[in-house]
Amino acid sequence: MDFALHDQHVHSSFSSDSKQELSFYIDKAIELGCKYYITTDHLDFNINDSHIDWIADYKEQRKYLDFLKKTKYKDNDIELLLGIEVGYKTKDNLDYQDRINKILNDNDFDLINLSVHDYKDVDFYFYDNYEKYGLDEIMKIYFNMELDAINEMDFDCLCHIDYAFKTIKMNNNDVKIDKYEDYLIRIFKSLIEKDKALEINTKVQEAINDDEHVRYLLRLYKKCGGKLLTLSSDAHELKRYESNFDYYKQIIKEEGFDYLCYFVRRKRYLYKI
């Protein structure tokens, strides 16, 4: 390919948990030779950590990207795209799914990333309440939410499948994710059946810090028939844009994948690696 693949999971100051002005990411994407830049800011109702709604003003953001393209980046060969990271909420949780769908319908997103971040009094980012439920029970809840999210939501890519697992690993537990292979197979098969992509999230991989973990996930996904992968950093600040991309690209290649995919106006394209 004559252009570098862009990062497809990036948070800017339009996300409640990032202060990063997004034009710095664009400068970085240009420097790396990317043809596209995409921002994927949070939509997460009643996020467990603070019980506030994380909602970016996506219309304002689209306007801002268009403005930047017409002004600062008018001579640069880069297209500025608008994506989103949707935090899944269960059906019985108020009318959040309706509100999410309205926002998805009212904005022409280029990419919808889907994530599971929390459940009742558990924020899967934090270890709080994990022991109250028990670790296996937490993983069961998390994976069942992922299955429901895949079945119920409109999306393009499932983010960080090992997000809740990472929190267990961070607390010095030497459990391996193959303990949950039955769930992983069900999730992979659902994704394949729905023709949706699986994200390899370098932020989670950096935290887990075990190549055998990511290689196992890739092998299992491939064995299930999976072909559609994205590689993303989940950057909340400039320095993590495309963090460790070359490293994980190599691992992905070694596990037998020749392509990554990317999305423009929700159409999927393959990128040869």
User: Residues in the site for Zn ion, rule: CB under 5 A?
Assistant: 85, 115, 234
- Comparison of 39 and 73: residue with beta carbon closer to Zn ion: 39
Q: How far is the CB of 234 from Zn ion (least distance, A)?
A: 4
Residue 54 and residue 16 in contact, taking contact as beta carbons nearer than 8 Å:
yes
Task: Assign residue 259 a region (left: φ > 0; alpha: ψ between -120 and 50; beta: otherwise).
Answer: beta
Position of minimal CB gap to Zn ion: 115
Residue 255 CA to residue 9 CA, distance in Å, equals 22
- Comparison of 77 and 128: residue with beta carbon closer to Zn ion: 128
Q: How far is the CB of 180 from Zn ion (least distance, A)?
A: 19
- Comparison of 7 and 234: residue with beta carbon closer to Zn ion: 234
Q: How many CA atoms lie within 13 A of 197 on its CB side?
A: 25
Q: How far is the CB of 236 from Zn ion (least distance, A)?
A: 8
- Comparison of 73 and 119: residue with beta carbon closer to Zn ion: 119
Determine which helix (DSSP H) or strand (DSSP E) holds 222, and give its type and residue range. Answer: helix 211-223
Q: How far is the CB of 161 from Zn ion (least distance, A)?
A: 11
For the chain, list the strands marked E by DSSP.
36-47, 52-55, 79-87, 111-115, 118-119, 122-123, 157-158, 197-201, 229-232, 259-264, 267-272
Q: How far is the CB of 147 from Zn ion (least distance, A)?
A: 17
Residue 87 CA to residue 84 CA, distance in Å, equals 10
Q: How far is the CB of 85 from Zn ion (least distance, A)?
A: 5
- Comparison of 73 and 241: residue with beta carbon closer to Zn ion: 241
Q: Each residue of 138-176: b (16+ CB within 10 Å) or e? A: bbebbbbbbbebbeebebbbbbbbbbbbbbbbeeeeeee
- Comparison of 85 and 156: residue with beta carbon closer to Zn ion: 85
